[in-house]
């Protein structure tokens, strides 16, 4: 490794160095919050489980990861990994491929049948969860591990919610969903499927439940008013994807238009191609820069032959065609130009977002539903009805699987405290560490591990998974690319650089200790700590 040029110590002020007859500053070890952990909606301690993967301690890494997120095999496939967007390493070369390592651990856990540890004791409390989507399943897992008796009521024929009915199998194989849900059943969580709740208060009383968590998701496709004359086949994307999942795929014809610019629109169009349509076309009223879909989703759709017509808005529908107006962007908003085009198509799929069916909640005294149709909850995620909590897509939030799972964990902590007659307070976080604060005195460039991908021509032939996992060797290598930002990883940089021998090694896993009888405050250890786990503080 080649050293980067260090700041000459002569340029440091004597106050910072502490050199002289009296030390004015001394080094202390301090933990910081890495940006990956900070950005994770599920609150994972990413840095900690990456460190365990580096040592090939995979089971321990899986246990650490699932303390916060019970579904790593699912998330390694469908999470949009904001952790990677904030990874400090991305400012050197490319971010650590955290999601691929998470998938590796999740898949290994399934292969080796790793299970959650049962609680040491039971609480005697019963909790009802309404909705077996990612938020409800997450809450169920966390509450069961805390010793509570958990029952999940689900209106659909299977657990998983929108992971089943909103995410196509080519992105999330169904055996993966089943395996990670089965682990909850082994933990003691009970499921009652094909059971739609219409009266929460009555269900709570009849089942003797001490608390309820409502997480029914957003399963209703939004509608739009478009003048139609002898309109052809019009579907909403949520219903379309659900019908495909349950083996009831509709006949769409040769040319199909999808109206919308989000990830669901991309999934719907890609599914249309897999069902055999000659042309799948997305119409979106904004440009690519302003689309809600993630860029890679659009790239993959385009690679599979989906056409995307940006800056177009549907104005009228006939049986075999659509009249669209060409739009332009002014101050971030689409504005009509008065120029019209005609597009021939056999079917239209509306992918304009989803809504929650909250009508049954209006019967519950105290529960408020705002103008956007979502449930109002307090800081503790409880609704205005005592003992009834809500989370996931049905409360104000970003609608992703990972956010929903984070809600489930958060709700479980508040419900656990509620059942114990206590209040839960989130522990304060460590200060966030930035890339500029790191002392990367060594050459760190190392190429990122890339996941295999089915060629587009093969991908559109069916619903087989399109992205491959990484090997054990690649997972360890990728984990070793982590900088361990802000937290000591026992590299011995401080120990080897101290000119006074003032640093003591305490044994693997126990880090180091300063002997202030020998320390002069010269700050060499501070300079040599690549992850900035040492701070110079004023002498007390």
Residues 411 and 497 in one domain: no
Which of 353, 368, 385 is the last residue in one of the domains? 353
Global pTM reads 0.89
Residues 204 and 236 in one domain: no
CB 387 within 8 A of CB 125: no
Residues 177 and 202 in one domain: yes
Residues 260 and 365 in one domain: no
The predicted structure's pLDDT at residue 219: 61
CB 378 within 8 A of CB 367: no
Q: What are the C-alpha distances in Å from 93 to residues 3, 446, 447, 448? A: 17, 8, 8, 8
CB 532 within 8 A of CB 540: no
DSSP structural state of residue 431: P
Give 477's Cβ-side CA count (13 Å radius). Answer: 11
Three-class SS of 401-437: HHHHHHHHHHHHHHHHHHHCCCCCCCCCCCCECCHHH
The predicted structure's pLDDT at residue 352: 85
CATH number at residue 341: 3.50.50.60
The predicted structure's pLDDT at residue 20: 46
The predicted structure's pLDDT at residue 272: 96
Instruction: Tell me how far apart the alpha carbons of residues 233 and 271 are, in angstroms, rounded to a whole number.
Output: 17
Beta bridge mates, 375: 369
Residue 3 placed within a domain: no
Which of 297, 332, 353 is the last residue in one of the domains? 353
The predicted structure's pLDDT at residue 101: 98
Residues 336 and 401 in one domain: no
- List of the chain residues with pLDDT < 50: 1-20
Give 445's Cβ-side CA count (13 Å radius). Answer: 4
Residues 344 and 380 in one domain: no
Q: What are the C-alpha distances in Å from 404 to residues 40, 79, 193, 372? A: 12, 11, 20, 18
Residues 386 and 302 in one domain: no
CB 517 within 8 A of CB 5: no
Residue 398 placed within a domain: yes
Residue 527 placed within a domain: yes
Beta bridge mates, 514: 503
The predicted structure's pLDDT at residue 227: 66
Residues 6+ apart with CB under 8 A from 485: 32, 34, 35, 36, 47, 88, 433, 438, 531, 532
Structure tokens at 331: 């101050």
Residues 511 and 498 in one domain: yes
SS3 451: coil
Residues 336 and 363 in one domain: no
The predicted structure's pLDDT at residue 205: 94
Residues 122 and 177 in one domain: yes
CB 91 within 8 A of CB 435: yes
CB 362 within 8 A of CB 379: no
Residues 378 and 279 in one domain: no
Residue with tokens 């669209």: 324
Q: What are the C-alpha distances in Å from 233 to residues 213, 251, 266, 309? A: 38, 9, 19, 20
Residues 6+ apart with CB under 8 A from 454: 464, 465, 466, 467
Q: Which domain holds residue 117?
A: 36-213+356-433
């Amino acid at each position: 490794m080649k050293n980067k040029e260090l700041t000459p110590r002569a340029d440091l002020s004597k106050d910072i160095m502490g050199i002289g007859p009296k030390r004015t500053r001394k080094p202390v070890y301090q933990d910081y919050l890495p940006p990956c952990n900070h950005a994770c909606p599920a609150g994972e301690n990413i840095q900690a489980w990456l460190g365990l993967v580096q040592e090939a301690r995979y089971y321990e890494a899986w246990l650490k990861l699932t303390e916060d997120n019970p579904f790593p095999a699912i998330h390694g496939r469908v999470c949009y990994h904001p952790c990677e967007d904030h990874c400090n390493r991305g400012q050197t070369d490319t971010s650590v491929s955290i999601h691929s390592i998470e998938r590796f651990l999740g898949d290994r856990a399934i292969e080796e049948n790793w299970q959650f540890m049962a609680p040491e004791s039971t609480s005697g409390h019963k909790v009802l969860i309404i909705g077996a989507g990612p938020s409800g399943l997450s809450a169920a897992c966390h509450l069961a591990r805390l010793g509570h008796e958990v029952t999940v009521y689900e209106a659909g024929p299977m657990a998983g919610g929108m992971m089943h009915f909103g995410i196509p199998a080519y992105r999330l194989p169904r055996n993966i969903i089943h395996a990670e849900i089965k682990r909850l059943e082994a933990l003691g969580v009970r499921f009652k499927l094909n059971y739609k709740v219409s009266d929460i208060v009555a269900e709570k009383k009849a089942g003797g439940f001490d608390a309820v968590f409502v997480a029914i998701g957003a399963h209703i496709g939004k509608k739009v008013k478009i003048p139609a004359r002898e309109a052809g086949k019009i579907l909403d994307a949520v219903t379309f994807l659900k019908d495909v999942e349950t083996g009831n795929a509709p006949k769409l014809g040769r040319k199909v238009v999808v109206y919308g610019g989000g990830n669901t629109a991309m999934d719907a169009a890609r599914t249309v191609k897999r069902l055999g349509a000659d042309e799948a076309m997305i119409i979106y009223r904004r440009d690519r820069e302003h689309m809600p879909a993630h860029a890679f989703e659009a790239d993959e759709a385009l690679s599979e032959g989906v056409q995307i017509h940006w800056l177009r808005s549907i104005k009228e529908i006939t049986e075999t065609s659509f009249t669209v107006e060409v739009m332009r962007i002014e101050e971030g908003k689409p504005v009509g130009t008065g120029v019209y085009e005609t597009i021939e198509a056999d079917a239209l799929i509306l992918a304009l977002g989803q809504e929650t069916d909250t009508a049954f909640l209006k019967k519950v005294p105290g529960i408020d539903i705002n103008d956007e149709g979502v449930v109002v909850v307090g800081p503790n995620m409880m609704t205005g009805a005592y003992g009834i909590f809500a989370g996931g897509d049905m409360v104000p939030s970003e609608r992703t699987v990972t956010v929903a799972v984070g809600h489930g964990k958060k709700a479980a902590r508040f419900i656990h405290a509620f059942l114990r007659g206590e209040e839960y307070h989130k522990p304060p976080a460590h200060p966030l560490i930035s890339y500029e604060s790191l002392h990367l005195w060594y050459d760190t460039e190392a190429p990122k591990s890339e996941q295999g991908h089915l060629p587009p021509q093969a991908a559109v032939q069916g619903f087989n998974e399109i992205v491959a996992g990484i090997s054990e060797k690649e997972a360890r290598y990728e984990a070793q690319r982590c900088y361990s930002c802000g937290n000591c990883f026992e590299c011995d940089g401080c120990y080897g650089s101290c000119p006074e021998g003032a640093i003591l090694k305490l044994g693997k896993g126990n880090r180091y200790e300063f002997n202030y009888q020998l320390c002069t405050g010269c700050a060499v250890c501070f300079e040599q700590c690549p992850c900035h786990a040492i701070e110079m503080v004023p002498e007390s």
